[in-house]
Amino acid sequence: MDLDGRQPVAWLPDLKIEGISDPVIQIIDQESQEIIKVTRAFKGMYRPGVYDMEKTYILRVGEPHSGTLWWEGKNLQPTSKPGQEERLVVLKN
């Protein structure tokens, strides 16, 4: 459950993150460009849950104000079960 009380109903690909510790994760509704969630990944892994199975999403991973380029994954379709896909995210200064 998230801090606002909602439960994820679908999942985007798991993220395995290398290059920086505890990066910021943004989940964005691709059509409306609304930021759905902003959080930090800890220990190099993050499993992004979303609240609408029918939408297409963008994932952004990086560290604000660090000079590190942000990784971005577009056109992501959620799945009904967590852990069905994984993306390697390599961030460099």
Give the pLDDT confidence of 20-43 residue by residue, as tens digits: 889 999 999 999 999 999 999 999
Residue 60 domain-assigned (yes or no): yes
3-state helix, strand, coil in the chain (%, to 5): 0, 45, 55
Residue 3 domain-assigned (yes or no): no
CA distance 8 to 43: 21
Higher pLDDT, 66 or 14: 14
Residue 87 domain-assigned (yes or no): no
Residue 92 domain-assigned (yes or no): no
Mean of all residue pLDDT scores within the chain: 92
Number of domains in the chain: 1
Quick check: pTM over 0.85?
A: yes
Q: How confident is the model at residue 68 (pLDDT cuts 50, 70, 90)?
A: confident
Whether 1 shows a pLDDT value over 60: the answer reads no
CA distance 49 to 46: 9
Residue 89 domain-assigned (yes or no): no
Residues 6+ apart with CB under 8 A from 31: 55, 56
Whether 46 shows a pLDDT value over 80: the answer reads yes
Domain assignment of residue 56, given as a range = 10-79
Cβ–Cβ under 8 Å, residues 9 and 55:
no
Q: By C-alpha distance, which of 12, 15, 11 is closest to 91? A: 15
